[in-house]
Chains A and B, each alone.
Chain A
Amino acid sequence: GQQLNQSPQSMFIQEGEDVSMNCTSSSIFNTWLWYKQDPGEGPVLLIALYKAGELTSNGRLTAQFGITRKDSFLNISASIPSDVGIYFCAGQIDGSQGNLIFGKGTKLSVKP
Chain B
Amino acid sequence: ETGVTQSPTHLIKTRGQQVTLRCSSQSGHNTVSWYQQALGQGPQFIFQYYREEENGRGNFPPRFSGLQFPNYSSELNVNALELDDSALYLCASSWGGVSYTFGSGTRLTVV
* Whole-angstrom CA separation of A101 from B46 in the bound complex: 11
Q: Does A96 contact B (CB under 8 A)?
A: yes
Contact B45–A101 (Cβ < 8 Å): yes
Q: Is the interface of A mostly helix, strand, loop or mixed?
A: mixed
Contact B33–A98 (Cβ < 8 Å): yes
Contact B56–A99 (Cβ < 8 Å): yes
Contact A44–B102 (Cβ < 8 Å): yes
Q: Is the interface of B mostly helix, strand, loop or mixed?
A: strand
A98 to chain B, nearest CB (A): 3
Name the contact of A102 in the complex, choosing from B42, B50, B98, B101 (C-beta under 8 A): B42
Interface size class of A (residues with CB under 8 A): 20 to 34
Interface size on B, residues (CB 8 A): 30
Contact A98–B42 (Cβ < 8 Å): no
Contact B100–A45 (Cβ < 8 Å): yes
Which residues in B have their C-beta under 8 angstroms from that of A35? 102
Residues of B within 8 A of A (CB): 4, 31, 33, 35, 40-45, 47-48, 50, 55-56, 58-59, 90, 92, 94, 96-105
